[in-house]
Amino acid sequence: MTNYTIVVNGRSYDVTVQKKKTSADELVSTGKTAAPIPAAQPALPAGDEGEKITAPMPGKIIEIHVRLGERVKKGQALLIMEAMKMHNPILAANDGTISKLFVKVNDSVQSGQPLLSIGT
């Protein structure tokens, strides 16, 4: 027997699959509802990493203009992201120092994914 938790119309159910001698498997419900999945906890503050710059949309990183530890000015192009066949510069929101790079050239990124951090 193998136990699974399945979700049907937003409700979770514990089920057991019993192996039969035939080629077909049979699902048997235990009649119990699975415990709800706890909500995700909010992210912890970045701490010494500084302000995280995130991807504004899904795309691909095609150029990175900064290095770890480099000082940057507000409005400076940090990297170029290609999305929908357009090159989109990602600019520094503030003056600071690049404290973390989360991506490299040719990485595909999703909207909201951290790209880099700028510390003070």
pLDDT tens string 71-89: 999 999 999 999 888 999 9
58 and 109 in a common domain? yes
Number of domains in the chain: 2
**pLDDT-derived band of residue 113, with 50, 70 and 90 as boundaries?**
very high
Q: Is the pLDDT of residue 53 over 50?
A: yes
Contact 63, 79 (CB under 8 A): yes
Q: Torsions phi, psi of 54, nearest 5?
A: -115, 160
75/16 same-domain check: no
- Residue 18, domain extent: 2-33
Q: Is residue 80 part of a domain?
A: yes
Going through 23-105 in order, the beta strands assigned E by DSSP cover: 26-33, 51-54, 59-64, 71-72, 77-83, 86-91, 96-101
- Assess if residue 43 is contained within a domain: no
Supply the pLDDT for residue 54.
93
Q: Is residue 41, in this structure, part of any structural domain at all? A: no
One domain, residues 16 and 62: no
Q: Is 83 exposed, middle or buried (0-12, 13-18, 19+ CB in 10 A)?
A: middle
